Structure 1
Amino acid sequence: MIKLYVYGSTATSRKARNWLIDHKITFKEKNVTASQLSREDFNHILSLTEAGIDDIISKRTLIYKELSPIWDELTLNEIFEYIIENPVLLKKPLIFDETKLQIGFNSDDIRMFLPKEFRIAEKNSFSDSDIY
């Protein structure tokens, strides 16, 4: 099951939601301002990142700038608690399933959530003249 974590109604969150709907992909949406990020999802998201917590934290936020002097000293549990109290710390949207994660919205990268059969059929529908 694909999960979509959004923060309010940001433009990138709307684009991700609309893309999933347009492609008839079933997903579960959670707004982190109304429904807290679960510890299970937090751990799973981290397991899918390349750079760990740095991949999912928005360093442009005021709260991060306030925490930056001590950020490297925080435990993972403390960071999780800060995220729960200040969901704006998360980059949005977060789109993930069991094996894939997309941070933010990118119309090319989100295609990884299309069923494999659909991607193969779409690839095979291109002619050689489409490629050159």
Structure 2
Amino acid sequence: MAIRCVVVTPERTEIDREASYVTLPMYDGELGVAAGRAPLIGRLGYGLLKLQTETGTQQLFIDGGFAQVENDVVSVLTSRAIPAEQIDAAAAERSLSEALAMPGNTPELRYIRDAAQLRARGQLRAARAPH
């Protein structure tokens, strides 16, 4: 039995396809979704969304957002979804270095710095993951 995964960014629908299993990068860890999963709404983190399909595994870097699971449909709303093989590890390392050097002397700057660090670390994991 298949589930449908729909990934939407502000620009377009990035993915709309069936999969046998979906792994979501939640803000506090990964969540696996198979057919018949109980409904849920959750906050996404920065990391890899993995779809197990008939043709193999498809992986996307997800840049935060929200996910909803209901009636064997996984709906993902995110600001960016990038195929994992398109992530440049060297660029992600530079982004992490820049994020680590950001100031954090106010709550707002700490929030921006922490988000930049999480994003860069997620991109590094995506770039280093087997594709």
With the shorter chain as reference, the TM-score category is under 0.3
Relative contact order higher in (CA < 8 Å, ≥ 6 apart): 1
Return the structure number with greater helix share: 1
Answer with 1 or 2: which has the greater Rg: 1
Q: Tell me the TM-score normalized by structure 1.
A: 0.25
